[in-house]
Amino acid sequence: MSQVNKRVWLHLLAEGGRWSIAEISDATHIDNGAVNSGLYRMSLQGMVMQHPTNRGRARTEFGVTKACKIPLGVTLAELQSIGIVREGA
């Protein structure tokens, strides 16, 4: 997993909810194109879920749910740093 995709995935996990590509790009300061291609690949692999929405205009939002796989390369320390796993686990 690329460092860009890891940052996006950890952001989605830590913040929760559903995010558009533009919102993720703004929050992580990563180029829209890189976010878009990374989310597409991660959704095909089951790491993020796509949520179609029609709020104002048709678009897709993304999020990490209980059904999502944890990507290879994400460490326990990274999950602890965002409060997902307790220290000492």
pTM: 0.87
Q: How is the chain split into domains, by residue range? A: 3-78
- CATH for 3-78 (3.40.50.1460, 1.10.10.10, 3.90.76.10, 1.10.3720.10): 1.10.10.10
C-alpha–C-alpha distance, residues 68 and 31, integer Å: 24
Residue with tokens 């997902």: 84
Q: What are the Cα distances from residue 80, in Å, to 13, 16, 54?
A: 12, 16, 35
Per-residue pLDDT of the chain (89 residues; tens, 9 = 90+): 899 999 999 999 999 999 999 999 999 999 999 999 999 999 999 999 999 877 666 689 999 999 999 999 999 899 998 888 777 65
